[in-house]
């Protein structure tokens, strides 16, 4: 499975993945998913929002145990972020069949569309639409860097953009959603556990800063006469780092767009996207407020106009303790809050928070959700260098199989 998926959407130069929503690479990933479902005799569905489902048993029986993740990537993302959860779900089902497990509840494997928001700027579009956290109108307003709207992109990929929207009936079928994901950090690497359980997801969001100045000649315009938005942008990036350090949070300007983007032209406009995350809402608000204040102060000195737009936001997610602790018991640990420090109780499975967003976080508002993390020896993610050891991936499949068996199967 892994080897069949690996070449899809991989850039030969960077060796990173470019699997953006509703592109050809996304379509090839979707075909891969459908083939895996068919190969296992699973009932395949694609829902009104383009999320894919592979069912074992009767979905209408309700109280289903669902697992899965996403297949799309960030620009030049790694091979594991998303796909490890989907591949491990199919492999865990194969394992359960090898064990002769008998299912007492329906089981589904899901691929949620556009989790990374790499093309249209909003994270978790497929799961947000399903959970009613994004309206059809809001989704239709999404536009990519080439001016292609989300509806146009969906239509070109053969999907009906007017069908998208909340899907409460579908979510009502779900009794529990468990997402396996490569850890995007090194907490597990500090323990001798290849698998951990998620406790929480930090609140996080994306803000677009538009710095509007005055285009002019780089060679003939006196410094005093300039209204250069690049200066304001640069000062804001440095202010973001200071604000994050002061607050024990994170802040990143990872994407910037310059108009007209000419070497010998003072820009008319610089657009910078801030990604900021913090352990709680108050801290996150304080960081973003400080960054915006610093940007406004500098804009005033540079004669630059500033507009700030929040493009994506996910509040803190506290995974429900009952499901979390049941999973910890299945995996053989005490679990119940075995300490935020993953190494706190060596006998138990580590329970750890994360600053990375996930579909399990979005769906947590509608259904009981949980996450399993697979050890990432370097912690690197959102990079072609992202990697997990095969033994740890196998341990993840076995752990997911144990969890699915414990939740969905008759105790044999
Ligand atoms: O950005 C994130 O936290 C996730 O990878 N979408
Ligand atoms: Mn990601
Ligand atoms: Mn992910």
Centre of ligand 3 from the C-alpha of residue 358, in Å: 6
Q: Say whether pLDDT at 24 is over 60.
A: yes
With a 6 Å cutoff on the Cβ, whether 123 touches ligand 1 is yes
| Mean pLDDT across 129-137 | 98
With a 6 Å cutoff on the Cβ, whether 115 touches ligand 1 is yes
The strand pair at 174-182 and 64-69 is best described as parallel
Q: Which CATH superfamily is domain 2-202+316-408 in?
A: Zn peptidases (3.40.630.10)
Tell me which of 113, 116, 203 to substitute to probe ligand 1's pocket, judged by most ligand atoms within 8 Å of the beta carbon: 116
Segments making up each domain of the chain, as ranges: 2-202+316-408, 205-314
> Mean pLDDT for the chain?
95
Per-residue pLDDT, 344 = 46
| Residues 138-163 pLDDT 10s | 999 999 999 999 999 999 999 999 99
Q: Under a CB-based contact definition with an 8 Å cutoff, are residues 256 and 273 in contact?
A: yes
| Mean pLDDT across 67-75 | 98
Residue 343's pLDDT band, with cuts at 50, 70 and 90, is very low
| Residues 44-68 pLDDT 10s | 999 999 999 999 999 999 999 999 9
With a 6 Å cutoff on the Cβ, whether 356 touches ligand 1 is yes
Q: Do domains 2-202+316-408 and 205-314 have the same CATH topology?
A: no
Alpha-carbon gap, residue 345 to 326, rounded angstroms: 17
Residue 345's pLDDT band, with cuts at 50, 70 and 90, is low
Which ligand is closest to the CA of 85, given by its number?
3
Residue 331 neighbours by CB under 8 Å, 6+ apart = 195, 197, 349, 399, 402, 403
| Mean pLDDT across 7-22 | 98
Q: Say whether pLDDT at 26 is over 90.
A: yes
Per-residue pLDDT, 410 = 78
Tell me which of 184, 198, 251, 359 to substitute to probe ligand 1's pocket, judged by most ligand atoms within 8 Å of the beta carbon: 184
Q: Say whether pLDDT at 397 is over 80.
A: yes
Alpha-carbon gap, residue 195 to 176, rounded angstroms: 19
Structure-token match 């990929």, residue found: 157
Alpha-carbon gap, residue 329 to 327, rounded angstroms: 5
With a 6 Å cutoff on the Cβ, whether 357 touches ligand 1 is yes
Per-residue pLDDT, 98 = 97
Indicate the fold that domain 205-314 takes in CATH.
Alpha-Beta Plaits (3.30.70)
Q: Under a CB-based contact definition with an 8 Å cutoff, are residues 133 and 362 in contact?
A: yes
Centre of ligand 3 from the C-alpha of residue 302, in Å: 39
Instruction: Specify the pTM.
Output: 0.93
Which is more confident, 337 or 165? 165
């Amino acid at each position: 499975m892994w080897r069949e998926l690996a070449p899809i959407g991989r850039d030969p130069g960077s060796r990173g993945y470019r699997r953006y929503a509703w592109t050809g690479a996304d379509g090839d990933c979707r075909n891969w998913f459908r083939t895996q479902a068919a190969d296992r005799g699973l009932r395949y569905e694609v829902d009104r929002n383009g999320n894919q489902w592979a069912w074992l048993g009767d979905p209408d029986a309700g109280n289903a145990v669902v697992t899965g993740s996403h297949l799309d990537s960030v620009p030049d993302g790694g091979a594991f972020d998303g796909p490890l959860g989907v591949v491990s779900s199919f492999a865990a089902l194969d394992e359960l069949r090898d064990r002769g497990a008998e299912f007492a509840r329906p089981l589904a494997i899901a691929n949620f569309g556009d989790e990374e928001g790499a093309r249209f700027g909003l994270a978790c579009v497929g799961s947000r639409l399903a959970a009613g956290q994004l309206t059809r109108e809001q989704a239709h307003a999404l536009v990519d860097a080439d001016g292609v709207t989300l509806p146009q992109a969906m239509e070109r990929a053969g999907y009906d953009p007017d069908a998208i929207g909340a899907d409460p009936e579908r979510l009502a079928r779900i009794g529990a959603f468990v997402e396996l994901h490569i850890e995007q950090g090194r907490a597990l690497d500090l323990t001798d556990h290849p698998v951990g359980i998620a406790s929480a997801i930090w609140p996080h969001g994306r803000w677009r800063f538009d710095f509007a100045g005055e285009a002019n000649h780089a060679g003939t315009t006196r410094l005093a006469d300039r209204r250069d938005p690049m200066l304001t942008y640069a000062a804001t990036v440095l202010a973001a780092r200071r604000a994050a350090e002061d607050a024990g949070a994170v802040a990143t300007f990872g994407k910037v767009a310059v108009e007209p983007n000419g070497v010998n032209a003072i820009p008319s406009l610089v657009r910078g996207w801030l990604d900021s995350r913090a352990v709680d809402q108050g801290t996150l608000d304080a960081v973003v407020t400080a960054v915006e204040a610093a940007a406004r102060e500098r804009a005033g000195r540079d004669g630059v106009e500033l507009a700030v737009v929040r493009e994506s936001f996910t509040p803190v997610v506290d995974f429900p303790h009952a499901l979390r602790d049941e999973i910890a018991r299945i995996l053989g640990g005490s679990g119940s809050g075995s300490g935020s420090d993953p190494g706190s109780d060596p006998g138990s499975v580590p329970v750890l928070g994360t600053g990375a967003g996930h579909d399990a976080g979005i769906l947590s508002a509608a259904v009981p959700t949980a996450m399993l993390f697979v050890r990432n020896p370097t912690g690197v993610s959102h990079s072609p260098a992202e990697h997990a050891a095969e033994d740890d991936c196998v341990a993840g499949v076995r752990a997911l199989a144990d969890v699915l068996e414990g939740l969905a199967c008759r105790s044999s």
